[in-house]
Amino acid sequence: MKHTYKITGMTCNNCKASVEKYLNDIDHVFNATVNLEKAEAEVTMDKHVATQVLKQALPDKYTLTEEQKNNVFESSGVSSMPVEDEKSKFQQLKPLLLIIFYIATASILLHYKNWSWNAFMLDFMGLFYIVFSFFKMLDLKGFPESFSMYDPLAKRVPVYGKIYPFIETALGLMFLMRFEIDSALIITIVVLGITTIGVTKTLLDKKAIRCACLGTA
């Protein structure tokens, strides 16, 4: 028998390999294969294994749920997606929103007495790069694989994904220290422009995307 499960929390091929290993180690699981882009696992069993058993076999960072089938008797105007799924998406975005809020607040506090939009934006971008590069530094090995899923340059030139966190750190310091601002702005436009093109193409192709702005965290 074969079952398909949705799995959240995977960000790179290392995660994919880990999930497959944990699932394949379960008794009565004949074969488990993971599709990283769809965030799905297809599990073949020689005897039924409860979903709870599969959940317990995975580390806490991964969430496994049985794929819901659409009920043909339901009205087509009624959404079959549970409210909990919508909440979980917001929870996934919450750390990102909090980080941006704190960066913006810190930038405002630095200049609220002598307000300057120019100085505010330079410090905002400086803190933005420093904070986000920090999260990427936590897993320098796993980040390039996640990043290359949607950044076209990282996909074609793997070394770019490896040095990207250091590029962000350098740009952050340039903005904060007001060093070669014109060069930093040009590099920012190029770097973020490439990523924007990749993200846009991925979304237009209706592919699943796992943002690597916080690295694999």
CATH number of the domain that 39 lies in? 3.30.70.100
* Out of 37-41, 157-161, 205-209, least confident range: 205-209
Mean pLDDT, to the nearest integer, of 144-163? 88
CA distance 140 to 77: 45
| pLDDT surpasses 60 at 70 | no
Range of the structural domain that residue 130 is part of: 86-204
Handedness of CA 103, 107, 108, 109 (dihedral sign): positive
Domain for residue 131, yes or no?
yes
Whether residue 40 sits in one domain with residue 93: no
Answer whether residue 189 shows pLDDT above 90: yes
- Count of structural domains, the chain: 2
The CA distance from 174 to 43, in Å, is 49
What's the CA gap between 7 and 69, in Å, rounded?
A: 16
Report field, pTM of the whole predicted structure over 0.85: no
* Same domain flag for 118 and 167: yes
Residue 170 and residue 161 in contact, taking contact as beta carbons nearer than 8 Å: no
- pLDDT tens-digit series, residues 81-134: 444 444 567 777 788 899 999 999 999 999 999 999 999 999 999 999 999 999
Whether 6 maps to a domain, the answer reads yes
Residue 11 pLDDT class (50, 70, 90 cuts): confident
Residues 62 and 99 reside in one and the same domain: no
At 174 the pLDDT is 97
End-to-end CA distance of the chain: 34
Across the range 25-31, mean pLDDT stands at 86
pLDDT of residue 208: 64
* DSSP letter for each residue of 161-175: HHHHHHHHHHHHHHH
CA angle 188-192-193, nearest 5°?
A: 110
Q: How many Å apart are CA 5 and CA 38, to the nearest integer?
A: 10
Closest CA to 13 of 135, 112, 141, 131: 141
> For residue 4, which amino acid is it?
T
Residue 73 scores a pLDDT above 70: no
60 and 119 in a single domain? The answer is: no
213 found inside a domain: no
